[in-house]
Amino acid sequence: MNQQHTSRPLTGKTAIVTGASRGIGAAIALRLAQLGANVTIDYLSNNERAQQTAQRIEHDAAAQGRIIVCKADVTDLNQVNELTQTTANTFGGIDILVNNALNRYSFDPRNRSTFDNTGWNDYATQLEGCLKGTYNTCTATLPYMRRQSWGRIVNISSNLVDSPIVPYHDYIAAKGALIGLTRSLAQEAGAWGITVNAIAAGLTVGTDSSRATTEDIREHIIEQTPLGRLATADDVAGGVAMLVGEDARFITGQTLHVDGGLTMR
C-alpha cells in the first residue's frame, strides 16, 4: 500500500463494513480507507472476491488505512463476536460500523412476487439478513464505542421504503424495519456519544442485485430523477463518508436519501 504522511479525517479510526466484498460495501470500504480509517472487510462466502477487494484497496494510491478480511455471517452472533474481537485485537478498537449486508435479492420487476404469493418465510428471510444482522453487529460493537464515548453507525436502507416504484414487499418491509431500528437506537445511543443514521440508496448501477432490473424501469427512474441518472456505489460511499465524519457529529436518527433527488422529504 502506498503510505503517505498527510493526515486524513479518519486517521486512527477503525471501521467494520459488512457485506464488503463487492458492490456498495466494497466502495464504502475503499472510501473509508482513503479517508485514513483501518477497515475490516466482512464477507459471507466468497473469500477470493473479498481478498481481491482488499488488494485493490491496498494498492489504491489514495488509501492510507490498513485492511483485513474476515468471514462472518451477520445472522450468527457468535461469528459476529469473532469478527469484532478480531477487529479490535488487530486495530485496537472499533469506531465505525456500516451495516451493508443483506440476504441475496434480485430486483426483477417482471418476475417479482406479488403480495398474494409472498409467503411469511420470504419476509423472515429478508428480516433475518437485514434486521437481525444489524442487531447482531450493533450488539457486538456498541460496547467498544460506549467505552470511548464515540461511535458512528450507518445502516444501508433503500429509497423504496419511501417510494416503492416496484413493490418488492419482503425487501421493502425489512429495509423499513431497519430505518425504525436506526431511529430508536439513535435515541438511546446519543447519551453515549454515538450517532446512528441510515442511507436510503436508490437503484445502484453495477451491483449484482440491480442486474435483473429491466431497461424500462431504469429509464423511468432516470426520467423521474432530477440529477438524471442512477446511483453508483461511489455515490453511496460518499454519503457514508459524510455521516461518519466530524462535520456530521450533530446528526443522528436521520435517513439520507442518496438517489439523485428522486425522493424528496
Positions annotated as catalytic residues are 171
Rg (CA), the chain: 18
CA–CA gap between residue 60 and residue 56 (Å, rounded): 6
Specify whether the backbone of 101 is left (phi greater than 0), alpha (psi in -120 to 50) or beta: beta
CA–CA gap between residue 99 and residue 261 (Å, rounded): 23
The DSSP annotation for 180-229 comes to HHHHHHHHHHGGGTEEEEEEEE--BTTSGGGTTS-HHHHHHHHHH-TT-S
**Phi, psi dihedral angles at 111 (to 5 degrees):** -115, 20
DSSP 42: E
Find cell 442486474 and name the residue: 211
DSSP 59: T
Q: Which three cell numbers stand for residue 111?
A: 418476475
